[in-house]
Amino acid sequence: MRRHIPLASLACLTMLSLAACGGGDADPASYPEDEITLVVPFSAGGPTDTVARLIAEPMAEELGADIVVQNVEGAGGTIAGGQVADADADGYEVLIHHIGMSTAPALYPDLAYSPLEDFKTVGLVTDVPMTIVARPDFEPETLEELVTYVKENADTVTLANAGVGAASQLCGLLIEQAVGVDLTEVPYDGTGPALTDLVGGQVDFMCDQTTNTASQIQAGEIKGYAVTTPEPVEALPDLPTTAEAGLPDVEVGVWHGLYVPADTPDEIVEKLTAALEVALEDQNVIDQMGTLGTTPVPAEDVTPEAHTAKLEEQIDLWTPIIEESGVTGG
């Protein structure tokens, strides 16, 4: 039995590694010669971290260099954003960020960097669908009923979210705007506690990532109304899309992309994009994303052009919504 225990982890703990002091001059042609750091702006174990670790392995294989995931948390991901914006433009520090990249300028008026000017985009990774869900004994049974109910009871309905700037808050804002009501928002510190109170019936409804809600919907612990993507989600075949159910304006996904500092040579960006493309075709990556209720983006979106277009479009979408709602990150 003893033979079956992978000792690699022990070895990596005891190995003396001075690679961290490396860095050095970048020759785009010979990139990568060194370990690459993939900076995750959220905690280890979160959905974005999971996506990062999923793609890191096949990307590293393709590039022929190690990729190390580093979690730099704080201030809605803007600490990590600032770190990579200021990093050497040699391709050895890569940022993965989600929809928050496009909302940061509106949420943080004193943001020290510009998502469009201080970064080069590498490509989109995945677009995690969201679901509109409610406590199990909430009256409305369908999305249409929910819209009517919310309009009639705008004073008493409570809308939970996972905190300022979280995807669930953004989706909530979109719902309020689409329905034309101003609801009582109940913020939580992350999706876990919000979902707990939803299951426990303390709050009425919310909108959050499939990753977090799918298993609860399947088990009947919460009520699912719709998914917020143009296409239905495989794991939740019974749920219509918001467009089908009458709220076409509520279309939102937690999209992820890779970024490098703005001065990074194009040759390096091309290599990273190519590696990302290979990683997203990896069967293991596709399967694992499946358990998260998502899929890799189609191949044509794994390009800097498509990524930049998405980023611009999303900044234009969210900036007025956030400004109108008066929400601020600081």
Partner 1 sequence: MSTHTGEGPDAGTRPAPFRPDLFAGAAFIVLGLAFAIGGAQYDVGSALRMGSGYVPIALGGTLTVLGLLVVVMAFRGGDPAIRDVVRPPVPWRRAGLLVAAILFFGFTVGGLGLGPTLLVTTFLAALAAPEVKPLRAALTAAGITALCLVVFVALLQLKLPLFGDWLGG
Partner 2 sequence: MDGILLGLETALQPSNILICLLGVTLGTAVGVLPGIGPTATVALLLPITFEFDPVASLIMLAGIYYGAQYGGSTTAILLNLPGESSSVVTALDGHQMAKQGRAGPALATAALGSFFAGTVATVVLAMFAPPLAQLALKFGPADFFSIVVLGLIASIALASGSTVKALAMIVLGLLLGTIGQDQFTGVPRFTFGVRELYGGLDFVSLAVGLFGLAEILRNLESKQSSELVTRKVQGLWLTRDDFRRIRMPVLRGTVLGSALGVLPGGGHVLASFTSYSLEKRLSKEPKKFGTGVIEGVAAPESANNAAAQTSFIPLLSLGLPTHPVMALLVGAFIIQGIVPGPQVIEQEPELVWGLIASMWVGNLLLVLLNLPLIGIWVRMLTVPYNVLFPAIIAFASIGCYSIGLNAWDVFAIAGAGLLGYFLIRWGCEAAPLLLGFVLGPLLEENLRRAMIISRGDPSVFVTRPISASLLLLAAIIIVVAVLPSVRKKREVVFQGEDD
Residue 11 found at the interface with partner 2 (CB under 8 A) = no
Alpha-carbon distance 101 to 125, whole Å? 14
Residue 10 found at the interface with partner 2 (CB under 8 A) = yes
Q: Which of residues 70-99 bind partner 1 (CB under 8 A)?
A: 70
State which residue, 47 or 105, has the beta carbon closest to partner 2. 47
Rounded to 5 degrees, what are φ and ψ at 303? -140, 155
**Do 259 and 97 meet the contact criterion of CB atoms below 8 Å apart?**
yes
With CB under 8 A as the contact rule, the residue among 84, 122, 195, 206 that binds partner 2 is 195
Element (H, E) at 319: helix 304-325
> Which of partner 2, partner 1, none interacts with 37 (beta carbon under 5 to 8 A by kind)?
partner 1
Residue 47 found at the interface with partner 2 (CB under 8 A) = yes
CB atoms within 10 A of CB 291: 12
State which residue, 72 or 302, has the beta carbon closest to partner 1. 72
With CB under 8 A as the contact rule, the residue among 23, 34, 50, 116 that binds partner 2 is 50
Residue 286 found at the interface with partner 2 (CB under 8 A) = no
* Count of residues that interact with partner 2, criterion CB under 8 A: 69
With CB under 8 A as the contact rule, the residue among 66, 182, 189, 312 that binds partner 2 is 189
Q: Tell me which DSSP letter residue 204 carries.
A: -
The partner residues of 132 in beta bridges, in order of sequence, read 207, 226
Closest CA to 205 of 138, 251, 254, 128: 138
Q: Tell me which DSSP letter residue 310 carries.
A: H
State which residue, 27 or 86, has the beta carbon closest to partner 1. 86
CB atoms within 10 A of CB 34: 16
Contacts of 268 (CB under 8 A, 6+ apart): 26, 28, 31, 90, 91, 260
CB of 13 to partner 1, least distance (A): 6
> Which of partner 1, partner 2, none interacts with 14 (beta carbon under 5 to 8 A by kind)?
partner 1
Alpha-carbon distance 157 to 316, whole Å? 29
User: What is the per-residue binding string for partner 1 in 9-48, x denoting contact by CB under 8 A?
Assistant: ---xxxxxxx-xx-x-------------x-----------
Helix axes 191-199 and 210-218, enclosed angle (nearest 10) = 20
User: What is the per-residue binding string for partner 1 in 237-276, x denoting contact by CB under 8 A?
Assistant: ----------------------------------------
DSSP per residue, 61-128: HHHTS-EEEEE---GGGHHHHHHHHTS-SSSSEEEEE-THHHHHHHH-TT-SS-TTTSEEEEEEEEEE
Applying CB under 8 A, which residues contact partner 1?
12-18, 20-21, 23, 37, 68, 70
Applying CB under 8 A, which residues contact partner 2?
1-2, 4-6, 8-10, 12-13, 43-47, 49-50, 53-54, 69, 71-75, 78-79, 82, 107, 110, 112, 155-156, 158, 163-165, 184-190, 192-193, 195-197, 199-203, 211, 214-216, 218-219, 221, 287-288, 291-292, 327-330
